[in-house]
Amino acid sequence: MVGTDLQTAISFLQQGQLVAIPTETVYGLAANAFNPDAVAQIFAVKNRPSFNPLIIHTNSLTRLKDWGLQLPQKMLLLAEHFSPGPLTYVIPKSHLIPDIVTAGTPAVAVRIPNHPLTLELLSKLDFPLAAPSANPSGYVSPTTAQHVNQQLGNTLPYILDGGACEVGVESTIISFLNDTPTLLRYGGITLEQLEKVIGKIIDKPGEAGDEILTDNPVAPGQLARHYATKHVLIHGDPKKNFDQFNPQKTAIISFKTNYTQVPQNLQFVLSPQGNLTEAAQKLFAAMRMVDELDVDVILAEKFPDEGLGKAINDRLKRASVK
Ligand code: TXA
Ligand code: MG
């Protein structure tokens, strides 16, 4: 069921059931992080490999400390600027966090999401919520309650509807396990924004993702193919690929350019004004819409390799790998 009633969401979560929750990035598939049986259902519903760890969500840094987590100095600095917000911190775990959440690794990923309804929900729970994106493993992440309902509606007791996600791509992930902080995933906060606050960050995206390349639990990496559309997606200059495909059966996802080569109804221009924030917001919904069309291929532009453009290119590149 889709609804906006916090009390219903709270009851299901307290009973160890799953609830889909809105965040500013994408919708999450949430369970009581302290309840291993509840968390196990997340892996089952998503068909997610058990060696891929989950992010835990709460509403304040104080509560993380109460749960025995030690917060590194640079994390605290970043949190002053970006939490609540689309930033996830990987830090050493405490004994309260079950192994199933961290896939047996000694580190846990934590985030304070910036969504009013979910912040209120989190403040009323006496446990954190483990929540990956609410999509079947490997598919595009959901940015509306309807996206979740279409794919997982039958398997979930409740989907909390908080409207369309404002950021539209997942959180940036930064690890504090080594001396120099390391970026694990491009997302809603840019590398430039982070470096302004804490200085040098090792730029190693590809170390985190919904699917994992290696089964080495100490070093979660990721399978390249993720965020995948059903149709084949080619990430690169559409002009270079037009002659290979029937234009009547070619869809395009572009930044601001309209291409005359293909029919207008097969084109998704994410931001005619050239605004990367708007483009990120619309990306996943566009990928879902093109998947509904009767086309042979999706040609997706390379976005400017700066700011949120890096997160957009990362998702399109992963969607394009065969
Ligand atoms: O914006 C987001 O982060 C959304 C919303 C719901 O908060 N969540 C999300 O979760 O994107 P998920 O599970 O789809 O992606 C989380 C990523 C995975 O790639 C996982 O490998 C990585 O975070 N991760 C989780 N715990 C980790 C850990 N202890 N060490 C390294 N990577 C970790
Ligand atoms: Mg995901």
- What is the predicted pLDDT for the residue at 206? 64
- What is the predicted pLDDT for the residue at 208? 54
Testing ligand 1's pocket by substitution, the residue of 105, 173, 182 carrying the most ligand atoms inside 8 A of its CB is 173
- Prediction pTM value: 0.94
Q: Phi, psi at residue 283, to the nearest 5°?
A: -55, -55
* pLDDT tens for the chain, residues 1 to 322: 999 999 999 999 999 999 999 999 999 999 999 999 999 999 999 999 999 999 999 999 999 999 999 999 999 999 999 999 999 999 999 999 999 999 999 999 999 999 999 999 999 999 999 999 999 998 999 999 999 999 999 999 999 999 999 999 999 999 999 989 999 999 999 999 999 999 999 987 765 554 333 333 333 334 556 788 999 999 999 999 999 999 999 999 999 999 999 999 999 999 999 999 999 999 999 999 999 999 999 999 999 999 999 999 999 999 997 6
The number of the ligand 1 atom at minimal distance from the alpha carbon of 25 is: 1
Q: Phi, psi at residue 77, to the nearest 5°?
A: -60, -45
Q: d(Cα 177, Cα 90) in Å, to the nearest integer?
A: 7
Burial grade of 165 (CB within 10 A; 0-12, 13-18, 19 or more)? buried
Q: d(Cα 206, Cα 183) in Å, to the nearest integer?
A: 9
Find, among 157, 211, 230, 174, the residue nearest to 10 by Cα: 157
DSSP state letters, 104-152 = T-SEEEEE----HHHHHHHHT-SS-EE--BSS-TTBPPP-SHHHHHHHH
Q: Which residues line ligand 1 (CB under 6 A)?
A: 23, 25-26, 28, 52-55, 86, 88, 90, 102, 105, 107-109, 111, 113, 131-133, 170-171, 173, 184, 208-210, 220, 222
The number of the ligand 1 atom at minimal distance from the alpha carbon of 209 is: 19
Query: What six digits make up the tokens of 223?
Result: 């399978």
Query: What six digits make up the tokens of 45?
Result: 């519903």
- Closest ligand to C-alpha of residue 131 is 1
- Closest ligand to C-alpha of residue 53 is 1
- Closest ligand to C-alpha of residue 213 is 1
Q: Output the residue whose Cα is nearest ligand 1's atom 29.
A: 108
Q: How far is the CA of 112 from the centre of ligand 1 (A)?
A: 13
Q: What angle do CA 152, 29, 36 make, to 5 degrees?
A: 115
| Total Cβ atoms within 10 A of residue 179 | 7
- What is the predicted pLDDT for the residue at 227? 82
Instruction: Give the C-alpha distances (Å, rounded to integers) separating 43 from 36, 90, 122, 179.
Output: 11, 20, 21, 32
CA neighbours closer than 13 Å in the CB half-sphere of residue 26: 26
